[in-house]
Structure 1
Amino acid sequence: MDKQHVKGAMDKAKGAMKDAAGKLTGDAKLQAEGKMDKAKGDARSAAGDIKDAARKSTR
């Protein structure tokens, strides 16, 4: 697991909390921010997967 995977997991967790808080409070903006953070986390995880695949292919 590299930095991209860790950052991706943190972004996903932060996004899930914002999304849930937005749903609870009825704050659509906070909920949207949470969804964006989750998407950013997915993108970082995908970047980490690509880096892992590149490292494995060069070995």
Structure 2
Amino acid sequence: MQEFFAMGGYALYVWSSFGISLLGIVYLYFEARKYHKKQQRLVRYWLHRQSKKKSS
């Protein structure tokens, strides 16, 4: 098991690459959520605005 984590002497490169990639994926996930929520707010605002125009 220890040999697996040592990666034949390349452990520092392998595990740091894995960690950086994981951080990037987590960052992109939260950015996508933030963008999606912003777009939902804009659509709600637009629909509300359109309904006000039709009722006036």
| Structure-1-length-normalised TM-score | 0.55
User: What is the Cα deviation at residue 23 of structure 1?
Assistant: 2.4
Other-structure match for 2:18 = 34
Other-structure match for 1:57 = 41
Highest RCO, 1 vs 2 (Cα 8 Å, sep ≥ 6): 1
Percent pairwise identity: 3
Work out the number of aligned pairs and report it.
38
Give unmatched runs, 5+ long, in structure 1. 1-21
Other-structure match for 2:50 = none
Give runs of ≥4 in structure 1 deviating > 2 Å: none
Give unmatched runs, 5+ long, in structure 2. 44-56
**More helix per residue:** 2
